[in-house]
Each structure stands twice: as C-alpha cells, then as structure tokens.
Amino acid sequence: MATVFSGVQPSGDYHLGNYLGAFKNWVAVQHENEAFFCVVDLHALTLDIDPSELRERTLDLAVTLLAVGLDPEVVTLFVQSHVPEHPRLAWLLECTATVGELNRMVQFKEKSSGRETVRAGLYTYPVLMAADVLLYQADQVPVGDDQRQHLELMRDLAVRFNNRYGRTFTVPEAVVPKVAARVMDLQQPGRKMSKSIDSPLGTVGLLDAPKDIERKVRRAVTDTDGRVRYDPEAKPGVSNLLELLSAATGVSVEEAAARYDGYGDLKRDVAEALISLLAPIRQRTAELRADLGEVERILTAGADRAHKVASVTYERAAKAVGLFS
Ligand code: ATP
Ligand code: LTN
C-alpha cells in the first residue's frame, strides 16, 4: 500500500481540468492506498482573495471533493491551515531551497507576470507545497501535468535534506494521468483550462447546467481542416475534444477519432458524455450543501488524523537540523 497525497486551492470554481487531471484520479486510488487530500487554503493567500470568500470557498471545496466521490471513511480530507506543521516545515525547506531554483519556476513567472505587486508567498509557494507532501511521507502525488515542475523541485528538496541531515523524507513521485493531463480551454485550445483565467465559454464548470455544457462544447474552437484526427500540435481544439471524450467514456483517443467524419457529431457526443459525467456530481453537491455540519465534522476528524502523522515528521526534521527541544 502506497501513501498518496494531493492538494487543491480553494480559489475559484472547479472545472473539468481539475476533475479529469486530478480529482477523478484521487477517487480512483483512494481504496488501495493510504490517502491524504488537502484543501490548501494557505496557498490561496498567495493571490488576492477576499477573507469571507476564502472562508466560504474552503468549506465548499470540501463539499466538491466529497461530491466527486472521495470517501471520508477511507481518506483523510483536511484543511491545510488546521495542521500547523505545514508552514513550520515550509520554513525548514525554504532554508533548503535556493533562490536560483525558485527563479526557474514557470508557474511563478506566469502568475506574477503583469502584476504591479507580487506577494513573496507566491514565490515560495512551491516550497510550502513540498512541505505538504513530505510531512506525510507520501510516495505518490496525483496531479495534472502543470504541476510536474513543482514535483521535480519537491524531489530535489527531499533528496538534499536527506543528504544533508540524514534520511528524513520519502522522495515522492508525480502521478500524471495518460489522457486529459492538461485539459485545454475550449475557446483558446493553446492554453490550459483554468479557474484563474476569465474564459466563461472556454471553461466547463463541474456544476454547469447541461444546456451550458452543450452550448460551450458546440461553440468550441476547432479548425478548418474538417477531419477528425488526434494531433495535439496541429489540431489542438479537436484533440482536446477527443481527450475529453476518451477520459469521459474510457475509449482511446484513436478509437474515438476513427468514429467520426465531422466535428458536429463529435461535439454532440462529447457534450452528451460530459453531461452524464457531471450530472451525479451536481446532484451530490446539492445534497451535501444542505448538510454542512456533516462536512465540518469530516474536516475536523481529518485534521486530527493528519496532525498525528505530520507532527511525527516535523519533530524528526526539526531535530535533524539541530533545533533545540
Ligand atoms: P488554475 O490554473 O485553474 O487556477 P491551479 O493549477 O492554479 O488551477 P488548483 O486548482 O489547485 O491550481 O489545481 C488542482 C489540480 O487540478 C492540480 O492537480 C492541477 O494540476 C489540476 N489541474 C488544473 N487545471 C488543469 C487542467 N486544465 N488540466 C488538467 N489538470 C488540471
Ligand atoms: N500547487 C498545487 C496545489 C497543491 C498541491 C500540494 C498539489 C498545493 N499543495 C501538494 C499536490 C500536492 C496546484 O495544483 N496548483
């Protein structure tokens, strides 16, 4: 049995990219592994977010994660700020990472570009992420493709810390799905679907009504060549639709491509598949929102379990670097 850890920021409306790139794969591994899933509210503070909105979104993200199928009987679902060892270990790891390494992080460059002021926390964000995972001695981190570079840094930090202070951390690896690891925006198929970019027609929300899903897929940008073929370089829009169909139905992208002569039929089936995929999530979200007390109880129990594991690792790391106790 492996230990699995992953996290998501409570910073917006969740979309198909989050679901297919991450959440769905969390649900798939929960029963065979020891799994920790975390609502990373401290990470959400790296960008501008209204305090009352953060509070609300934190609980609502827990609702979403339960609605997609995480089973609180088998996973540890918790809020990052409820376990104080996360920022404490992050400091020890900030003193392990170098400025040169952090300067190379592509997501920092993307998220900071064009902003007048950039929070220091956005810069050290990947180090807090490393602390999240290393505290639980996780072997595997299921994430979307955009997190690969952060995972590489995390591995480097774990190895460096272990070499410098003695073996303390398991060195984790990224687990990225074979299809839909990078779901693209339906309107701009050259960029990933994202909750931090305003593209209402290009983003399919997990809670979108069937008629909105149908409309967004029908208006998805394709190309003028007219042939259905999987070729992400030359045909990003069509290839994205094929990946969505493949991820939603289980057929391979090539098999899916061979079934269609034109874009109209492909779009009709993609819309249909996504509507059936998301319908149960919508329904379950409504049920859970009606019993937030139960969701809060799940998070309290989760924090308790997480804290027990995290405190053992933190104490070991603190002792290893020579903190007096
Ligand atoms: P966003 O860019 O949408 O604001 P993010 O990458 O900053 O999202 P999270 O929402 O915390 O941050 O990501 C949660 C998980 O969803 C991560 O594992 C991430 O890799 C995955 N993910 C996000 N967008 C996509 C996408 N378009 N395709 C596949 N996976 C994605
Ligand atoms: N940076 C991640 C969210 C995240 C995470 C983690 C993912 C924070 N801590 C630990 C995996 C493991 C993102 O998706 N933007």
What predicted TM-score, i.e. pTM, was given to this entire model? 0.97
- The minimum-distance atom of ligand 1 relative to the CA of 181 is 29
Mean pLDDT of 156-162: 99
In the predicted structure, residue 261 carries a pLDDT above the cut 90:
yes
Percent of the chain at pLDDT > 90 equals 98
Contacts of 99 (CB under 8 A, 6+ apart): none
Residue 272 CA to ligand 2 centre (angstroms): 31
Domain 3-180+292-321 has CATH 3.30.70.380: no
Q: What is the mean pLDDT of the chain?
A: 97
* pLDDT tens digits, 280-322: 999 999 999 999 999 999 999 999 999 999 999 999 999 999 9
Closest to 69 (Cα-Cα) out of 37, 123, 26: 26
pLDDT band at 53 (very low <50, low <70, confident <90, very high): very high
In the predicted structure, residue 84 carries a pLDDT above the cut 90:
yes
Residue 159 one-letter amino acid: V
Mean pLDDT of 46-56: 96
pLDDT at 325: 82
The continuous run of DSSP H or E covering 128 comes out as: helix 120-134
Mean pLDDT of 140-159: 98
In the chain, what are the domain boundaries? Answer: 3-180+292-321, 200-286
pLDDT at 136: 99
Mean pLDDT of 254-260: 96
pLDDT band at 120 (very low <50, low <70, confident <90, very high): very high
pLDDT at 197: 80
Q: Decide if 192 is catalytic.
A: yes
Cα–Cα dist 153/248, whole Å: 31
- Ligand 1 site residues (CB inside 6 A) read 8-9, 12, 17-18, 21-22, 143-144, 146-147, 181-183, 192-196
In the predicted structure, residue 137 carries a pLDDT above the cut 90:
yes
pLDDT band at 100 (very low <50, low <70, confident <90, very high): very high
In the predicted structure, residue 181 carries a pLDDT above the cut 90:
yes
pLDDT at 82: 98
Instruction: Give the neighbor-by-neighbor strand order of the sheet with 34-39.
Output: 75-79, 34-39, 3-8, 140-142, 173-175
- The minimum-distance atom of ligand 1 relative to the CA of 184 is 27
Task: Report yes or no: 167 and 174 within 8 Å, Cβ to Cβ.
Answer: no
pLDDT at 12: 82
Q: Ligand 1: which residue has its CA nearest to atom 19?
A: 144
In the predicted structure, residue 195 carries a pLDDT above the cut 90:
no
Task: Report yes or no: 3 and 45 within 8 Å, Cβ to Cβ.
Answer: no
Q: Decide if 267 is catalytic.
A: no
Q: Decide if 308 is catalytic.
A: no
Residue 258 CA to ligand 1 centre (angstroms): 30
pLDDT band at 55 (very low <50, low <70, confident <90, very high): very high
For 200-286, CATH number? 1.10.240.10
* pLDDT tens digits, 67-82: 999 999 999 999 999 9
pLDDT at 292: 97
